Structure 1
Amino acid sequence: MSHTLETVVNETAANPQWAVIWLHGLGADGHDFAPIVPELLRPDWPAIRFVFPHAPVQPITINNGVPMRAWYDIVSMDFASRADAAGVTASVQALDALVDAEIARGIPAERILLAGFSQGGAVILSAALRWTRPIAGLIALSTYLPDPKAAADARVADGIRPPVFMAHGAHDPVIPQGIAVESAGMLKSLGFPMEWHSYPMAHQVCAEEIHALGDWLDARFRAA
């Protein structure tokens, strides 16, 4: 994977002081979550640059090798081993490059948030366990930590524990909620401040979730 991803960029006002890098799910693209911005925004928030990258197109093993946009290959149905580890690593590196680009544009790591839905969320949670950057927070929607064993063994950098907002559908047929609950528990045990929400929905996003996320983001902006 090349480390330069194409992106959809949405700046809420001139001279953004914060950035949110938001990774889509399998088979979607950077446009998928762009419409969420007006639903999320609140009038007194600072100017934010939302960056929605497109994952590269690659063949997906469990979909009979059909190519689609993906952050990594899905090689089996077993959650402990379904994510292609090399693909996850490549996506973490590509995400790292996106963070570097925001820092180069003048937004410090402490004001960069990482968000992801499903596969995208798996990448940001994986990144959080490998990085030494003091980022502002992680937004993990309908997702899980792909390799809990590696995560448990990961040497999480001293003092780098960004707060996490996790939300999941109780009726999710793609990633059962129990898997996400385990991931949340593991992150908590590693010292990440965790806010967990469950909604009576499938593998999707709902209005109540967006409102709760808005409250969580509001707290981050105020704390800064």
Structure 2
Amino acid sequence: MSYLPCIEIEPQGSATASVIWLHGLGASGNDFAPIVPELNLPDSMAVRFVFPHAPSIPVTVNGGMAMPAWYDILSMDIDRKIDETQILQSAEAINALIDREIERGVESDKILIAGFSQGGAVAYQTALSYPKPLAGLMTMSTYFATHETLSPSAANQALEIFISHGTQDPVVPELLGQRAVELLRSKGYEPLYATYPMQHEVCLPQIQDISRWLQERLS
């Protein structure tokens, strides 16, 4: 089986939980790895963090320049025209990483999917359609790109979802975060939504909230 290349941060003992965390457009798995120590998770949680690298592909809105991307973005209007085939392919690649964590001995309901910006759009598709129960879904500064075509998994109909967004985001307007909440509620989910006075980034109060939420989900 061929897997996406990843940065992995192992706990002190054998992992009993896993977080698969997807980066944004033009970034890499290195983008969020430095956050792990800042989460200050207790050693007793034994969480393995997996930060996959997206492949390098041409991106239309960046003049066709090749860069790390989970899918092509065809236009940057509010509705974000994207290559849906590519987003589904990326979700399948993340499914394979979830399956690998299960093979390594982590129960599916101790595996949490996280994503920032483009990675968050893939995280929505992956977690909500995965056929086994997961621990949670965490999305940051992103949008629900596949809401019209998603086939939800019954196993994750009650999935815990934490959405966070910057109120001053010039890249992915907060309106898209609010819209994701509304779309999820219309499908029967009950997401938690938080905003922070920041742009397209993460901030310390948000990291602290993420830490608390991960501890609730994975302890």
Mapped to 2, the partners of 1:155 and 1:164 lie a distance apart of 14
Partner of 2:165: 168
Alignment: residue pair count: 219
Please name the residue that 1:131 is paired with.
130
Give a deviation string over 1:116-159, Cα, whole Å, max 9, x none.
000001001012332222000011011110133224xx344266
**Alignment partners' CA distance in 2, 1:51 and 1:79:** 31
Shift of 1:170: 0.3
Asked if structure 2 preserves the Cα contact closer than 8 Å seen for 1:169 and 1:199, the reply is: yes
Residue identity opposite 1:10 in structure 2: I
Distance 2:124 2:111 in 1: 15
Q: Match for residue 195 of structure 2?
A: 198
Of 210, 215, 221, the match for 2:212: 215
Aligned counterpart, 1:150: 149
Alpha-carbon spacing, 1:159–1:113, altered in 2? closer, same or farther (3 Å): closer
Q: How many Å separate the matches in 2 of 1:44 and 1:12? A: 7
Give runs of ≥4 in structure 1 deviating > 4 Å: none
C-alpha distance in 1 between matches for 2:107 and 2:190? 21
Give distance in 2, aligned partners of 1:159 and 1:72. 24
Deviation per residue, 1:44-73 (Å, 9 max, x gap):
541110000000000000101000000000
* Counterpart-to-counterpart distance in 2, 1:159 and 1:183: 17
TM-score norm. by structure 1 comes to 0.92
Counterpart residue type for residue 52 of structure 2: P
**Whole-angstrom distance in 1 between the partners of 2:33 and 2:188:** 31
> Hey, what's the Cα distance between the residues in 2 that align with 1:8 and 1:159?
27
**1:42 aligned to 2:45?**
no
Change beyond 3 A, Cα 1:4–1:179? same
- Contact between 1:79 and 1:146, CA under 8 Å: does it hold in 2? no
For residues 81 and 33 of structure 1, what CA distance do their matches in structure 2 show? 24
* Cα RMSD after superposing both structures: 1.6
Query: Percent same amino acid at aligned positions?
Result: 44
Q: Which residue of 1 aligns with 2:57?
A: 58
Conservation of the 8 A alpha-carbon contact between 2:135 and 2:218: no
The residue number in structure 2 matching 1:108 is: 107
Equivalences for residues 19-30 of structure 1 within 5 A? 19-30=18-29
Structure 2 residue matching 1:208: 3-state secondary structure: helix
Which whole-Å CA distance do the structure 2 matches of 1:36 and 1:129 have between them?
25
Match in the other structure for 1:13: 12
Normalized against structure 2, the TM-score is what?
Answer: 0.94
**1:120 counterpart residue number:** 119
Q: Is contact 1:109–1:136 with CA below 8 Å preserved after alignment?
A: yes
Q: 1:3·1:93 contact (CA, 8 Å) conserved in 2?
A: no
Contact 1:121 1:144 in 2 (8 A): yes
CA distance in 2: counterparts of 1:159 and 1:53, whole angstroms? 23
